[in-house]
Amino acid sequence: MFACGEMGVLVATLLLSGVALSAADVSSGAGLFGNALVFPIETDNSYVTLTPQKPLELKAFTICMNVATELKGEREILLFAYRTGDFDELNIWRELDGRYSFYLSGEGVFFEIPQLNTFKTHLCVTWESATAAGEIKHMMFACGEMGVLVATLLLSGVALSSADVGLFRQALVFPSETNSYVTLTPQKPLELHAFTLCMNVATELKGEREVILFAYRTRKFDELTVWRESDGRYSFYMSGEGVFFDIPPLTTFKTQMCITWESAKGLSAFWVDGKRSVRKVYKPGHTIRSNGTVILGQACGAFLGDFHSHNFVGEIYNVNMWDYVLPESQIKALHSCGGHVPKGNIFDWPTIQYQTYGNVFSSYSNCVI
Domains and CATH numbers, the chain: 9-148 (2.60.120.200), 160-364 (2.60.120.200)
pLDDT of 319 reads: 97
- Residue % of the chain over a pLDDT of 70: 79
Which residues, 6+ apart, have CB-to-CB distance to 108 below 8 Å?
91, 93, 101, 102
- Predicted model pTM: 0.65
pLDDT of 351 reads: 95
Read off the pLDDT of each residue in 165-178 and give the average, rounded to a whole number.
90
Across 22-26, 85-89, 286-290, 295-299, least confident range: 22-26
pLDDT of 369 reads: 55
- Residue % of the chain over a pLDDT of 90: 45
pLDDT of 208 reads: 83
The answer on pLDDT for 239 being more than 70 is: yes
The answer on pLDDT for 352 being more than 90 is: yes
The answer on pLDDT for 221 being more than 60 is: yes
- At 200, the pLDDT band (50, 70, 90 cuts) reads very high
Highest mean pLDDT among 124-128, 165-169, 286-290 belongs to 286-290
Read off the pLDDT of each residue in 158-180 and give the average, rounded to a whole number.
76
pLDDT of 2 reads: 41
Read off the pLDDT of each residue in 333-349 and give the average, rounded to a whole number.
89
pLDDT of 7 reads: 39
